[in-house]
Amino acid sequence: MKLSELYEWEVETSDRVIRQYNDDGTENPSTMISVDEVVRASIISRNGRPRHDVLLDRAKGERFIKRFGRGIMKNVSGKFIMAEYLQCIQTTHYRLWVFSTTGQSLVTNPELEVYL
């Protein structure tokens, strides 16, 4: 299964919503996100798993930093395959990780990486 069939990101600013994929299937790059304007960031399942929303508490100084992914490779009979893909939303206060295979989430300190 392709990663684009599992999840997509979405961010909301005070005046618009930016989705990873447009209605025609073209992709918007993460670079078009103005991080200072984000009030909500989401990781949305495209296959029935839970949606994960981060509402930023700007009154407490919380800011959106970035959205990114980490691929976890596995060696199977001498070939490396993608075993797991982690989607992440990072704020100034924490990182929200979402596992592609299960839809489970994990919250960590903003400086920590997840290693499996």
The pLDDT tens digits of the residues spanning 15-49 come to 888 888 888 888 888 777 888 889 999 999 888 88
- The answer to whether residue 69 is domain-embedded is yes
Parent domain of 17? 3-108
- The answer to whether residue 114 is domain-embedded is no
pLDDT digits (tens, 9 = 90+) for 61-108: 999 999 888 888 889 999 998 888 899 999 999 999 999 888 899 999
- The answer to whether residue 116 is domain-embedded is no
- The answer to whether residue 115 is domain-embedded is no
The predicted model scores a pTM of: 0.84
φ, ψ of residue 37 in degrees (nearest 5): -100, -5
Q: What is the pLDDT confidence band of residue 116, given thresholds at 50, 70 and 90?
A: low
Q: Residue 78, Cα to own-chain centre: how many angstroms? A: 30
CA dist., res. 76 & res. 89, Å (int): 30
CA angle 79, 97, 48 (to 5 degrees): 80
- The answer to whether residue 65 is domain-embedded is yes
